[in-house]
Amino acid sequence: MFKKITSLFTAITFFAVTSFGFSASAQTPIVVKLSHVVAENTPKGLASLKFKELAEKKLPGKVQVQVFPSSQLFGDAKELEALLLNDVQIINPSLSKFNRYTKKISVFDLPFLFKDAKAAASFQKSKEGQALLKSMEDKGLIGLAYWHNGMKHFSTNKDFRVPADVKGLKFRIQPSDVYESFIKSIGGSAQKMAFAEVYQGLQTGVVDGQENTFSNIYSQKFHEVQKTIVETNHGILDYMVVVNAKWWNSLPADIKKGLSEAMAEATIYNNQIGQQKNDEARKLIVDSGKAKVVKITDAQLAEWRKAVAPVYAQFEKDIGADLIKAAQSHSLKK
Ligand code: LMR
């Protein structure tokens, strides 16, 4: 009996140490794995490294942050599951990748909802935006912060300007039902695909086009296998930094405080560099002479907006009319 109790105790202790990894002595730092899918020289890649630097400075010898870029540890398909299993402690997926956990967050995917990245950031800071950070707690996920990348643009392997030109083309999308409907509304077909597979998908012609920010297009070399990038500014690519709620809530108070402070500072840093990294990448793409970068006229933009109207009607119930209205109000601000 005693033996049974002892082994049960050992098993529980082992579970606590291996699952949550912070029961070690003062000499053994808590290892915090942070995994993401983009390159290091991007707004998210650089902010992840900044978080590591700040956290280790604030908690010397107490934490070790290991950053894994470019889907090296987990790609899109696995990272949320891995977080819930505590195989990784922090991830920062794009807002389009939480589709399975909450419908409300799809508000960020509605086409042409935000007039620019500032409007999206303003909504994120609002009461409704902040509430979305907490909207997945019942699924075991806590949002610590929003991080920015920037506005997205369409690219394809042909010359195009308006929806009529992309009719019948196949586009890679993130795992978002709103995007699936969006692509249908412009006459294309959509294929959900992990970020790490997009370059090859474009190169081999499995898909004809994709939509992303300049920083992702440049760092993944999509411009080398695409003909035209049209500056549609049709949606925001931002991120939610999320942690496993059980892991986070069981951290010692000083560790939680240090990590929260490091996150707040890394978030400020991320917000400062987002626009700059995208501007730099745009210039590098133009200078490369590979894909042609074209601006869109007001009349062409009106064609895009007209085409996507049914997407709003389709998702209004899932997302909530009030939430959509609240998000839209930030684009009306001067
Ligand atoms: C994508 O899948 O296109 C993006 O979400 C990648 C990223 O994390 O920026």
Neighbouring-strand partners of residue 154: 211, 230
Q: Over the chain, what is the mean pLDDT?
A: 93
Q: Tell me: the pLDDT tens digits for 96-132? A: 999 889 999 999 999 999 999 999 999 999 999 999 9
Strands (E), 159-227: 170-173, 189-192, 209-212
Which candidate, 208, 39, 185, 136, places its Cα nearest to that of 193?
A: 208
The residue contributing the CA closest to ligand 1 atom 5 is 94
First to last CA, the chain: 72
CA of 251 to the centre of ligand 1 (A): 29
- Other Cβ atoms closer than 10 A to 310: 12
pLDDT higher than threshold 60 for residue 168? yes
Q: Which residue has the tokens 């300007």?
A: 161
Ligand 1 contact, 216 CB (< 6 A): yes
List pLDDT tens digits, range 279-298: 999 999 999 999 999 999 99
Give residue 118's identity as a one-letter amino acid code: K
**C-alpha of residue 25 to centroid of ligand 1, in Å:** 37
pLDDT at 18 (0 to 100): 43
How much distance in Å is there from the Cα of 33 to the middle of ligand 1? 19
Cβ of 219 less than 6 Å from ligand 1:
no
Q: Is 174 in the pocket of ligand 1 (CB under 6 A)?
A: yes
**Each residue's pLDDT tens digit, 9-39:** 444 443 444 445 454 445 699 999 999 999 9
The finding on whether 37 has its CB within 6 A of some atom of ligand 1 is: yes
Contact 156, 228 (CB under 8 A): yes
When pLDDT is cut at 50, 70 and 90, the band that residue 4 belongs to is: very low
Global pTM exceeds 0.85: yes
Sequence-distant (≥ 6) Cβ neighbours of residue 192 within 8 angstroms: 172, 173, 174, 175, 176, 180
- Ligand 1 site-directed mutation target among 174, 179, 213, 238, most atoms within 8 Å of CB: 174
- Cβ–ligand 1 contact at 296 (below 6 Å): no
CA of 267 to the centre of ligand 1 (A): 18
94 lines ligand 1 (CB under 6 A): yes
Q: For ligand 1, is residue 212 a contact (CB within 6 Å)?
A: yes
Return all residues near 116 (Cβ < 8 A) that are at least 6 apart: 151, 233, 331
Q: With cut-offs at 50, 70 and 90, classify the pLDDT of residue 95.
A: very high
> Measured in angstroms, how far is the CA atom of residue 2 from the centroid of ligand 1?
53
Which atom of ligand 1 is nearest to 36's Cα?
Answer: 8
